[in-house]
Amino acid sequence: MNKFWIIFAHTYLNKIKSRTFIITTALFVLLVIGSVNIQNIVALFSDESKNQIAVIDQTEGLLAPLKLGIENVNEDVEIVAYDGTEEDVKTAVQDGEYEAALTLSLNDEGLPDATYFTNDIANTGLQQAIQEQLQQIKVGIAIEQAGFDEALVLSINEAVSFHTVALDENAKTLEEMFQAQGVVYIMVFLMYIVVIMYGTMIATDVATEKSSRVMELLISSASPVTHMFAKIIGIALVGLTQIGIIVAVAVGVISSQKDELVGGFLDVFGFLDTPTSLIVYGILFFLLGYLLYATLAAMLGSLVSRSEEANQAVTPLMMLIVIAFLIAMFGLTMPDSSFITVTSFIPFFTPMVMLLRVGMLDVPFWEIAMSIGILIATIIILGLLGARVYKGGVLMYSSANPLKSMMKAIQLSKKEK
C-alpha cells in the first residue's frame, strides 16, 4: 500500500506543478470571471451614445408612429427628422453623422413605401426592427382604409390564452426547468471537458513511460495494477483540484457581486435556487464517470508503445464521450423522451444523461439508484478487465491491431501470475 501512495503522490505533485495545469487553470479562472462579468464587459466596450436614424418623411404622418415604436423597443436608437434632400442625407450617412437614413413615402394604394440607406448592411437587426414597425403601421392603415373596426382586428390577432397545468404534484414547473437547464448544461459541459482532458492525460502518461522504458523500472518496484490505480486516482485528484480552484473563484466572484447579478447571470443559469440534491448527484456522477472513462483510458494507453500513438488509441473513448455529450444536449430540449430515458441506463452515457434527467425531471429514486448500480458494476468489471490488460500491456512494445494487442496483453497477464 505504501508503494501506491508513493506513485499517487508523485503523479499528483508532478501534474499540479506542470505548465499545462497552471495555464489551463488560469484560462478557466479568467473564463469564469469574464462570464460572470459579461454584462459589465459589454457595457465597457459599448458606445453609450444612441444610433441616430435620419428620416425624410414625405408623408407627414408616418414619422411619429415609427419613432414611438422603434424607440420603445430599441433604447439605443434615436429616430430624428431630416429636412434636407435624399442626396444630402446619403452624404451625411457616408460621413458618419448618422447610423443610417430612411425615406418614407406612400405608394399608389396609400400604403407605406420605405428606402433604407446605410454604409454597412451587416446590422440586420436594426433593419428588421424598422421593417417590422413599418409593417404594423401598414396593417393599421390597411384596416382603416377597409373600414374595419381596429379594436376587433386587434382582438382577433391577440395571442390565445393558454395555461399549462401539471397534474403530478412533484412535477417541475416551466420556470424550474428553465433554471435547471443552465445548471445542467454547465455541469455536463464541465464533465465533458474534464474527462477528455484527463482521460487523454492518463493514456499519454502511460504511453510516455513505456516509450522511455521507465515502466520497466516502475513495475519492478510496484505491481502494474497498483501503478494503474495510483495513476488514475492521482490524476483524478489533479482534476478535482483544478475544479475546486475554479469553483472557489466562481463562488467568490458571484458572492461579491450577488446584488448586481440578480436578474441577470444568476437567474439565467438558475444559480439562485440550485437544489442541493442536484449538486450532490452532479458530484457523484462526475466521479463515477471519471472512474469509468479513466480506467478505459489507462487500459488503452497501455496497449501502445509511443506517446504519439496515445491519441489514436483513445479515439474510441473520445467518441463515446462525444456521443454522450450530444445525447445530453439533445435531452436539454426533450428530457422526457424515451430515447433519453433508455440511454440514461447505458453506463457509458449515464454520467451525463442521467444527470440531465435528474436536473430537469422528477425522476423516481429507484431509477437513479438502478443507473448508479449499473454504472458501478460496469466500473468494477472494466477495472478487473483493465487491470489484466494493463498488467500485460505495459510490457508490450509492438504496434499491432488494438484488439489483438488487448488479447495478447490478457495472455501475458496470465503468465505473470
Condensed to tens digits (0 to 9), the pLDDT of residues 135-150 reads 888 887 777 777 777 6
Report the percent of the chain where pLDDT is more than 90: 4
Band of residue 345 on the pLDDT scale cut at 50, 70, 90: very high
Instruction: Quick: pLDDT tens for 54-73.
Output: 888 888 788 888 888 887 77
**Model pLDDT, residue 309:** 67
Contact status, residue 250 vs residue 36, Cβ threshold 8 Å: yes
* 77-86, 123-132, 406-415, range with the lowest pLDDT: 406-415
Q: Are strands 77-81 and 51-57 parallel, antiparallel or unpaired?
A: parallel
Per-domain boundaries in the chain:
50-157, 172-415
Average pLDDT, the chain: 76
Contact status, residue 295 vs residue 375, Cβ threshold 8 Å: no
Instruction: Quick: pLDDT tens for 38-52.
Output: 666 666 665 556 678
**Model pLDDT, residue 346:** 92
Q: Is the pLDDT of residue 13 over 80?
A: yes
Contact status, residue 92 vs residue 101, Cβ threshold 8 Å: yes
In DSSP notation, 18-63 reads SHHHHHHHHHHHHHHHHHHTHHHHHHHHS--SPEEEEEEESSSSSH
Mean pLDDT within 4-8? 78
* 54-63, 91-100, 186-195, 308-317, range with the lowest pLDDT: 308-317
Name the maximum alpha-carbon separation found in the chain.
Answer: 97
**Model pLDDT, residue 245:** 87
Helix (H) or strand (E) holding 136: helix 124-146
- Written as one letter, the residue type at 11 is T
CA pair distance 265, 304, nearest whole angstrom: 45
Report the percent of the chain where pLDDT is more than 70: 70
85-94 burial string, b = 16+ CB within 10 Å, else e? eeeebbebbe
Q: What residues have CB less than 8 Å from 296, skipping those under 6 apart?
A: 199, 317, 382, 386
CA pair distance 392, 215, nearest whole angstrom: 12
**Model pLDDT, residue 414:** 54
User: Between 3.40.190.10, 3.40.1010.10, 2.60.40.730, 3.20.20.300, what CATH number should domain 50-157 receive?
Assistant: 3.40.190.10
CA pair distance 403, 380, nearest whole angstrom: 21
Band of residue 342 on the pLDDT scale cut at 50, 70, 90: very high
**Model pLDDT, residue 370:** 93
Residue 172 per-residue DSSP state: P
Residue listed under C-alpha cell 443559469: 269
